[in-house]
């Protein structure tokens, strides 16, 4: 598919009373039409902040973009006119958040909220807007949409409310959806259903999807590629199957080992030891060194760039990169998964 989103060397800072926080420190990633990129990381890794910068919901202090480019279909949003930015972000991109209840208006029916999109952006009549709302509710598989269109958000279950959020995001048929922990608040069975729905809709609408999550288990079946973030940087990026089978970064391996697996009893639920760094005092050298089982002296001195990852014969593995000085060792050690 065509290149939709291209984030290049993005930097975002937050001014706080205790100093400047480098929340995003040179992040690059891209998403093509019809593709799902999972952005994986612990809380505070910069994955949500990057998305907020893309969506333009960081534009006010204390968050500040201090460098880089955010290209949408080739246009750099950071250098586009306010009018153009608003047009693109209002209609061509949409975002889904974790907490549907606080994103929906409690005193409006879901039909009115969905319909409003068509009235405001498409000049639809109230009646046509209501019909569109029902159609959208059908699309996101809300049973008995015709009857439920006049219900209020609190009358729906958590999973159904998240479907309504997805319907809102889909309303104007955007090219790109960014979903920030869309299923984190839901229980496991409902998570899988909502994830399946997102995957199907992406296919159906040929959209790009950026799926932000801290849960590696959630993305395996849905994502095409993964970018693993840590301390405001990308640690590793790879096609999803390759990342699972042969990680090229110790942090990725730590995350994989922390996912419970039925076929590896007893190894589940082991989280990566230690805590992410305070972003006001990021460790020198490799950000991950205080937690890394592979760390050596050079790791404390030199920050690893994002190295291109190659196979045994030296040919580049397409789409693979690792910010580890010793990615070769990690790749060689990886057990078959």
3-state class of 106 per DSSP? coil
Task: Based on the shown chain and the rule CB under 6 A, indicate whether residue 295 belongs to the binding site for ligand SF4.
Answer: yes
Query: DSSP letter at 317?
Result: E
Phi first, then psi: give them for residue 267, nearest 5 degrees.
Answer: -100, -5
Task: Based on the shown chain and the rule CB under 6 A, indicate whether residue 289 belongs to the binding site for ligand SF4.
Answer: yes
**Shortest distance, position 138 Cβ to Mg ion, whole Å:** 31
Phi first, then psi: give them for residue 251, nearest 5 degrees.
Answer: -70, -40
Using an 8 Å Cβ cutoff, are 23 and 195 in contact? no
**Shortest distance, position 250 Cβ to ligand SF4, whole Å:** 5
Binding to Mg ion in span 37-56, by CB under 5 A:
48
Using an 8 Å Cβ cutoff, are 225 and 37 in contact? yes
Given 51, 288, 309, 331, the residue binding ligand SF4 (CB under 6 A)? 288
Helix or strand run (H / E) with residue 84: helix 82-87
Using an 8 Å Cβ cutoff, are 10 and 65 in contact? yes
Task: Based on the shown chain and the rule CB under 6 A, indicate whether residue 97 belongs to the binding site for ligand SF4.
Answer: no
Question: Which residue stretch of 48-56, 217-225, 236-244, 318-326 sits at the interface with ligand SF4 (rule: CB under 6 A)?
Answer: 318-326
Rounded CA gap, 112 and 115, in Å?
5
**288 contact choice in Mg ion, ligand SF4, none (CB below 5 to 8 Å, kind-dependent):** ligand SF4
Using an 8 Å Cβ cutoff, are 176 and 210 in contact? yes
Chain mean position to CA 34: 15
Question: Which residue stretch of 2-10, 26-34, 174-182, 281-289 sits at the interface with ligand SF4 (rule: CB under 6 A)?
Answer: 281-289
Q: How big is the chain, counted in residues? A: 337
**Shortest distance, position 50 Cβ to Mg ion, whole Å:** 10
Closest by Cα among 225, 179, 282, 229 to 46: 229
User: Residue 154: is it exposed, middle or buried by C-beta count within 10 angstroms (0-12/13-18/19+)?
Assistant: exposed
Question: Which residue stretch of 95-103, 149-157, 178-186, 324-332 sits at the interface with ligand SF4 (rule: CB under 6 A)?
Answer: 324-332
Phi first, then psi: give them for residue 335, nearest 5 degrees.
Answer: -70, 155
The CB density around residue 126, as the number of other CB atoms within 10 Å, is 12
- Nearer Cβ to Mg ion (49/195): 49
Task: Based on the shown chain and the rule CB under 6 A, indicate whether residue 168 belongs to the binding site for ligand SF4.
Answer: no
What string marks each residue from 250 to 269 as x (binds ligand SF4 by CB under 6 A) or -? x-------------------
The CB density around residue 26, as the number of other CB atoms within 10 Å, is 17
- Nearer Cβ to Mg ion (94/95): 95
The residue of the chain with the least Cβ separation from Mg ion equals: 48
Task: Based on the shown chain and the rule CB under 6 A, indicate whether residue 324 belongs to the binding site for ligand SF4.
Answer: yes
- Nearer Cβ to ligand SF4 (14/327): 327
**292 contact choice in ligand SF4, Mg ion, none (CB below 5 to 8 Å, kind-dependent):** ligand SF4
**Shortest distance, position 285 Cβ to ligand SF4, whole Å:** 7
**Shortest distance, position 288 Cβ to ligand SF4, whole Å:** 5
- Nearer Cβ to Mg ion (48/322): 48
Query: DSSP letter at 283?
Result: P
Summarize as ranges the residues that interact with ligand SF4 (CB under 6 A).
249-250, 286, 288-289, 292, 294-295, 299, 304, 324-326
Residues that bind Mg ion (CB under 5 A): 48
């Amino acid at each position: 598919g065509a290149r939709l989103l291209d984030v290049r060397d993005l930097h975002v800072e937050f001014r706080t009373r205790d100093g400047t926080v480098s929340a995003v420190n040179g992040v690059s990633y891209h998403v093509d039409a019809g593709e799902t990129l999972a952005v994986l990381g612990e809380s505070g890794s910069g994955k949500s902040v990057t998305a907020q910068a893309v969506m333009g919901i960081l534009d006010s202090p204390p968050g500040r973009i201090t460098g880089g480019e955010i290209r949408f279909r080739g246009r750099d949003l950071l250098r586009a006119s306010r009018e153009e930015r608003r047009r693109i972000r209002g209609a061509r991109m949409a975002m889904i958040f974790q907490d549907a209840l606080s994103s929906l208006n409690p005193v409006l029916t879901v039909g009115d909220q969905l319909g409003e999109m068509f009235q405001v952006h498409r000049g639809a009549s109230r009646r046509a807007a209501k019909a569109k709302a029902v159609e959208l509710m059908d699309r996101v598989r809300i049973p008995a949409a015709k009857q439920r269109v006049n219900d209020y958000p609190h009358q729906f279950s958590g999973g159904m409310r998240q479907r309504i959020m997805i319907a809102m995001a889909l309303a104007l048929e955007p090219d790109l959806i960014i979903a920030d922990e869309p299923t984190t608040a839901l229980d496991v069975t409902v998570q899988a259903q909502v994830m399946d729905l997102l995957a199907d809709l992406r296919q159906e609408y040929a959209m790009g999807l950026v799926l932000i999550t801290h849960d590696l288990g959630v993305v395996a079946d849905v994502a095409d590629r993964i970018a693993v973030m840590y301390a405001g940087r990308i640690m590793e990026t790879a096609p999803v199957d390759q990342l699972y089978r042969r990680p090229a970064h110790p942090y990725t391996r730590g995350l994989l080992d922390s996912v419970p697996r039925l076929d590896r009893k007893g190894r589940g639920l082991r989280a990566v030891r230690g805590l992410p760094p305070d972003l006001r005092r990021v460790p020198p050298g490799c950000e991950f060194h205080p937690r890394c089982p592979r760390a050596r002296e050079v790791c404390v001195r030199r920050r690893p760039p994002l190295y291109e990852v190659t196979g045994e014969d030296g040919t580049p593995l397409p789409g693979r990169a690792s910010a580890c000085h010793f990615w070769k060792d990690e790749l060689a050690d990886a057990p078959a998964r």
